[in-house]
Amino acid sequence: MMSLTLTLRGVLGSAAFMALGALPGLADTQLHILHFNDFHSRIEPINRFNSTCSAEDDAQGNCFGGAARLFTLINQMRDAITAEGDPVLVLSAGDSSQGSLFFTTYGGAAEAELNNLIGLDAMAVGNHEFDNGPEGLLVFTQSAEYPIVAANLDVSGNTMLAGQVVPYAILTAGDLRVGIVGAITNDTPEIASPGPTIVVNDALESVRASVAELQAMGITTIIALTHVGYVPEQEMAAQIPGLTAVVGGHSHTYLSATDPDAEGPYPTWVENVGGGSVPVVQAGAYSRYLGHLILDLDGEGNLLGASGDTILINAEVTPDPGIVAWVAEMAEPIEATRNLVVSEAAAPIEGDRTICRQMECSMGNLVTDAMLSRVAGQGITIAIQNGGGLRASIDDGTITLGEVLSVLPFQNTLATFELSGAAVVAALENGASQMEEGAGRFAQVSGLRYTVDPAAPAGSRISDVMVRSGSDWVPIDAGATYGVVSNNFMRSGGDGYAMFRDEATNAYDYGPDLADVVAEFLAENTPYTPYTDGRITRR
């Protein structure tokens, strides 16, 4: 197997070489799994903030991922592995959809075509595949040249999708027969739009049943390809006998065998109730990484060991010229999308940083009102947006999607969670803690009222915090629990909002794109009249 190491090192450089890890000689077969998850429509390269990279940054080698680099890396690795006589599968753990104007423009068709161009062997269904209803998944099932798997997804009641999603697939990889069992997150009906004809059953029990069926057919190598999250994936690995490995997604978890700052080891080993251990892997998100899992199998396809790593897709990976041209062609109509008229403004909407990082501003009210409106049906009553996330004002008159994107360029997603009243107040204190520096953490809000004293010491600047109760405003209860919506940057602890990361419960960080939410709110309320109403008072 040393020749495989040398071949891959020559093709891909030291980063991919390190991803191979040890190459034990005891296995009868080494099955290589190349995998990615939560691509989120990053057809174009991304910057360090996971948003579309500028041409200038790309030319300077500061970009990651994108369709053309992902295509190059997968094909180079697959060709090198195959040349050494080892079997290889390429898997996607779902959420190809949502996150850029490519999805807004093409509704998933660009991502579906990319999967075919890559030569995907199987795909799990992600919750964002339902962002456009069942029709969003139909875009993939109608064109897919690979099986789409989800054991807990019952689409039989939908005339468009019936028969197009299977619980599992049996793939041939060299001399191996490999079972691929899919699963989608249980809360898909609450966080996406599958509609009443789609039924989501319990993921753990559905995968358990499918594994048993595959075992009854004599399949011994069984991979759970799931979009349920790192913690539930470890639960599957622990509780379902017969699993060889779990290749996952949904939580955007970056695992690594070499990076001490990763969220966990690659692979993460979990003891199984049936004996032995099961490797669990994810590969971050947004095409920044490609996962490479190597399964050492005996002559009957049983797991002996596993190794591998995530590979950073940076400027060392040369974009495929054909895919670059394809992306450029697909991007042409997006310019028209950027000029799409979404609403009218009756007056200028103030988004200047010198205002929105110090006090209530009309742009902050627009954005937080839109956030709260989008999730009000989920029992959410408070919206908090960092002022630094608002990057521009909008003039009166016609509002284009490009203008909305100028205000909200970071491709942040809605994040919903529950938080104590005390933690909400602590969040407001954090927002006001660096006002003298004009820091972007200042909290624009909806569903809240508060007073801020910039002259007071940091940590004691907030008072008179009120929340809405019916048509009235009442003091916030430190011991009560409130539903909050923010953005995924803040929810991960960005701008000092550690309480959102550490104290939140029932959190979901991967809702719709914030710019889309605001554009839709503006369209529903055209002509939009900007306003301030005293929700933030300065002493």
Give pLDDT, residue 411.
Answer: 79
Domain count of the fold of the chain: 2
CATH number of the structural domain spanning residue 287: 3.60.21.10
Give pLDDT, residue 26.
Answer: 62
Predicted TM-score (pTM) of the model is 0.75
Residues 382, 327, single domain; the answer is no
Residues 234, 192, single domain; the answer is yes
Q: How far is CA 433 from CA 456, 462, 490, in A?
A: 10, 10, 15
Q: Distance (Å, rounded) from C-alpha 236 to C-alpha 30?
A: 23
Give pLDDT, residue 141.
Answer: 97
> What would the pLDDT profile of 378-418 be if each residue is shown by its tens digit?
999 999 999 988 988 898 999 989 889 878 877 789 999 99
> What would the pLDDT profile of 85-110 be if each residue is shown by its tens digit?
999 999 999 999 987 888 888 999 99
Question: For 413, which DSSP code?
Answer: B
**Among 286, 302, 332, residue at a domain's last position:** 332
Boundaries of domain holding 469: 341-538
Are 507 and 491 in contact, with CB atoms under 8 Å apart? yes
Q: How many CB atoms lie within 10 A of CB 534?
A: 7
Are 357 and 432 in contact, with CB atoms under 8 Å apart? no
Residues 394, 502, single domain; the answer is yes
In sequence order, what E strands does 379-453 have? Answer: 382-386, 397-400, 414-420, 443-446, 448-452
* Inside any domain, residue 22: no
In sequence order, what E strands does 16-154 have? Answer: 29-36, 88-92, 122-124, 148-149, 153-154
* Inside any domain, residue 18: no
Give pLDDT, residue 16.
Answer: 38
Residues 159, 305, single domain; the answer is yes
**CA nearest 362: which of 338, 406, 395?**
395
> Could you give the strand order of the β-sheet that contains 289-297, starting from the edge strand earlier in sequence?
148-149, 122-124, 88-92, 29-36, 289-297, 303-312
Low-confidence ranges of the chain (pLDDT < 50): 1-24
Give pLDDT, residue 402.
Answer: 82
Q: How many CB atoms lie within 10 A of CB 287?
A: 28
**Among 311, 332, 353, residue at a domain's last position:** 332
Phi, psi of 37 (to 5 degrees): -150, 155
In sequence order, what E strands does 120-220 have? Answer: 122-124, 148-149, 153-154, 168-173, 176-184, 199-200
**Among 332, 354, 371, residue at a domain's last position:** 332
